[in-house]
Amino acid sequence: MASDNKKARPDNLLFHSHIEICRILQMLAHERSHIEAEVGEHLSFKAFMLALDLPHARFTTTFSPNKEANSALLTFPDAVEFTASDSQGLLYTFEASSPEETQIDGQPAIHFSLPKALLLHNRREHARFSASDDLSLRCVADATGFMPFESRITDVSHDGLGVLIYDLGVHLEPSAILKGSRIITPSGDAVTADLELRHITTAQLPDGTMANRAGFHFLQAPSEISQLIGLFIQNMDKK
């Protein structure tokens, strides 16, 4: 059965889901997976994944044995493309930037900002991808409740978890239930679901404005949830 599942898995999956990306990076850190990147035209940075730091939105690697590669990476002005491998031999490619020297348990290490996209592939030849595209879905939150308001959904994961972005003028508490929320897909169709908020923080949007950021889960997963997940986790081999 496991063999059949493995055969059915697509060769290339592109993750825009922050929740799924963090889950994958956590697994790679737990396995102390090998990670490498080309820096410039001739230097190869080779290291191991160490940790995922969710509160500060970053991951950590060891230093490379190549001191010249370390120095080049720490001063490199652009994002670099990393490739990591797990214990099953699967490959993961993602871009990261903002390297910063640190220490973990007294040993030198390097922090990087979390990637916005991640490609899982089980073959060496793989399509390149843009990590700069920000995906979000319009949502009329609490559409059948007491105070409908405009918001954006920026993530939906396999666990039925998601992230809701909305105006600072809307005041909600964790455990609030947004009834009959209407999630608008790119095709214009609406998916209706009740959302329960889990935690709420403030976040800065790409345009510099501040907004509320709430984690949520679906109280009853809608029948179209696989469609929503597919928007954040794309099968690149689909014809």
| Three-class secondary structure of residue 118 per DSSP | strand
Q: Which residue has the higher pLDDT, 191 or 206?
A: 191
**What letter represents residue 98's amino acid?**
S
Q: Is pLDDT of 3 > 90?
A: no
The superfamily (CATH) of domain 137-235 is predicted glycosyltransferase like domains (2.40.10.220)
| Three-class secondary structure of residue 20 per DSSP | helix
Q: Is pLDDT of 1 > 70?
A: no
Q: Which residue has the higher pLDDT, 99 or 3?
A: 99
Q: Is the dihedral of CA 94, 99, 100, 103 positive or negative?
A: positive
Architecture of domain 2-121: Roll (2.30)
pLDDT in tens, 44-83: 999 999 999 998 899 999 999 999 999 999 998 888 999 9
Any idea what the Cα angle at residue 174 is, between residues 168 and 175, rounded to 5°?
A: 135
Distances (CA, A) of 212 to 59, 88, 200: 24, 39, 7
Q: pTM for this one?
A: 0.84
Contact between 103 and 63 (Cβ < 8 Å): no
Portions of the chain given CATH number 2.40.10.220: 137-235
pLDDT in tens, 79-112: 899 999 999 888 999 999 999 999 988 889 999 9
Structure tokens at 133: 């595209």
Portions of the chain given CATH number 2.30.110.10: 2-121
Mean pLDDT of 217-237: 89
